[in-house]
Amino acid sequence: MRARAAKAKQIMTKRLMLIGEAPGRPCGPREFLVPSRSVTGTGSMTSADWLIRYTGLDLKDYFRLFGRRNVFSSPVVGPWRDRSARVAGARLLREAERLGLDVVALGRRVAAALGLDRADFLTRYGRGQGYPRTFPFCPAIFVVPHPSGRNRWYNIRSNRERVKEFFKELIL
């Protein structure tokens, strides 16, 4: 009983919910945006590893500050499924609302799944600010570029600094 109460308190103290696309190949179906061993210098980088690097957070703060979910619970094989993604996005927004968390969408496909078809990076969307009318129950959605190693947006130093400042403002 105590362990359950402590876990519930821990979840409620997280300030943001990160929503990614889908787990990478080595992750299990219930592992959401989990850093690999590459944070310690071994193994290949995951999106979570890149995000930790770009935000300047340490591993402990990453787990403390962010609830983590994916639009899809298993790796996406084949083309992105828009209709399924929107259904999953609505479910995730309801969960964020129930927990009282603001949402950080990792990439434009995730933003579209949450109802923001034309989202700009490093932007806050709330009621009256391009907020999706179909999902009026989430406090705020922030959109950042997907933190995968393939994304060239982060290759520009000024963009990495903008992301670091953006997350610093979000978590303070």
Residue that has been written with the tokens 């190693």 in this structure: 149
Ordered DSSP codes for 64-83: HHEEEEESSSS---SS--HH
Q: Are 39 and 63 in contact (CB under 8 A)?
A: no
Euclidean distance between CA atoms 152 and 11, whole angstroms: 33
Euclidean distance between CA atoms 164 and 143, whole angstroms: 14
- Residue 142 dihedral angles phi and psi, to the nearest 5°: -110, 135
What CATH superfamily is the domain 14-171? Answer: Uracil-DNA glycosylase-like domain (3.40.470.10)
pLDDT at 1: 45
0.85 surpassed by pTM: no
pLDDT at 27: 55
Domain boundaries, the chain: 14-171
Condensed to tens digits (0 to 9), the pLDDT of residues 49-102 reads 888 888 888 888 888 888 888 888 776 667 778 888 888 888 888 888 888 888
Condensed to tens digits (0 to 9), the pLDDT of residues 37-62 reads 555 455 567 778 888 888 888 888 88
